[in-house]
Structure 1
Amino acid sequence: MSQPTTVDDPNKQSGYITNAMSVDVEDYFQVAAFENNIKREDWDSLPVRVEHNTQRILSLFAEYNIKATFFTLGWVAERYPGLVKEIVAQGHELASHGYGHQRATTQTPEVFKEDICKAKQLLEDISGVEVKGYRAPSYSIDHSNPWAHDELLAAGHSYSSSVYPVKHDLYGIPDAPRFPYRCENGLLEIPITTVKIRNKNIPFGGGGYFRFFPYWLSKWGINRVNQQDKAPAIFYFHPWEIDPGQPRQEGISFKSRFRHYLNLETMEKRLRSLVQDFKWHTMESVFLHHSTNPNQ
């Protein structure tokens, strides 16, 4: 992996912190936990719930006047172009989650390049806006594929949010910087939020961790990053996480079942608390557009 150069964060100079809200737009059957149980070629035959669930998220954000970054799969955009246009029309940032939700660690540089370029072109053609950001499925940029950042820069991306500085069985770079840094090639990498406790990074960026931890603990972690580190937090979640009525998968491991279905019924209530307890804006606004940064 290229040697990072830490980025000076303009938020540290402000009297308050605006955090970055993000949504990984994918459906329940596309998650990595189900990849051995649901065939990719069967996706089009399954009940699709991502459009409805994303519309619910858009309504929630509109209710609280929240702007967010939607890291959208090209597969979803291709089938629901109206959803992509609605995301942009409501003032949110459109970013890429790749095309087919394949982990970068399972792809060759050539296949990865094809995937990210296809997704970026598709999203831009549909929306009419430049797609600057990218997030790898399952945070799958790590020490094994340092070439990924070079491919992202070559494809025209300005930043990546694909590194999780934690130890996990599917992803993570535990020794990566906790805050935004420039890769050797100049690409900005924006790692997912962690809190350092006893020299260990504890995940506080959202997703399954947000459903697993009691809300007060997640709130404490974001407050600690804002107040002690004087830095913005990055929060992410998926449309399927607010959908307890989604079809249940059979034949999956206990670990996968636990991770995927835990506390789905309480997720929306927790989100409502989260958007009211903190200030939120897009990844682009918080980390790229210093001149229009809500923290300035």
Structure 2
Amino acid sequence: MTHKDQDIHVLDFPGATALKDAGRTEPPDPAVLATAQSLVRRAIAADAEHAVPATASDTVVVAPRFGRRRLVACAAAVAAVAAGVAVLPVVGVGSDPAASASAADLFNTMADRAASGSQRSAPYWKTTVRTWVEGDKPHTDNTYLSRSKLVIKTQNGRTVTKKAPPGGVRWMVGNRQVSWDALDKLPTRPDALRRVLSAGAEGSAAAEQTVRQSGELLTEAPVSPRLRATLFRVLADTPGAKVTERVKDGAGRIGTEISWRWSKNFDHSPHSPNWIVRPSDGQILECNNVWEDDPERMAGRSTYLYTGPADSVG
């Protein structure tokens, strides 16, 4: 690759040789260089960390909001991928297309922000979600999850309480179920956590399972800042993500849309999921979905107005 003077950046990624052989190109996009720096930082961090095995004998209670069986279909029409987006690939899974460099850079930036954050301990994990499904009116509910029960306060004033079975609430992670206290025992090395999340699936289904379960943990579970950062680093190396800047969520907040495209009929769902995130703090503002055969048609949305610790049900 030629430049104004000489190349000062080492190109060491899949396709670098082909790019060089293609002749003169424009100077590299700053996002590409930022991605390379993020990858180096991530490799150093991964080398310094130690994996901790997850527990194996748990029973799930928490119904995944991102799951296909209870998919809360959500979202405005999918915006086209921003013009000029970097397309340098990162390592994919199987034959699937890898995430774009802009998606990898976005996830690694959010990982850095999450790692530097803090989270206080509290007896409840609260989510305030505004839900809209095609053909229905939007409604806002507050959900309070503790180790022993789930309390839902609906917009119409109802309070629904569900007790957890023996062993407490659980989350599905890969092909196993993990309790509240066992969340802190999940691996915090990206490669090790990916193996746990993708367990029981192969090829594109493994990547899709990784994305879905990561989304559930990032919104529905009291994960530590360290685990949150690792989840973002796993997503940075997960194929299929495209980024669109400055997209509004259902509450009118501006964020960055991350679009995922599942394999045909994955988990028997006709939807393609999108997230709207706030890069400044790594919060998922909204899960939104469009119809696979009609991306201009809105299927619904789940807009997260609050996700975080709570001292009481109120």
Q: TM-score, normalised by structure 2?
A: 0.27
Q: Which has the larger radius of gyration?
A: 2
By percentage of residues, which structure has more strand? Answer: 2
Between structures 1 and 2, the one with greater helix share: 1
TM-score, length of structure 1 as denominator length: 0.28
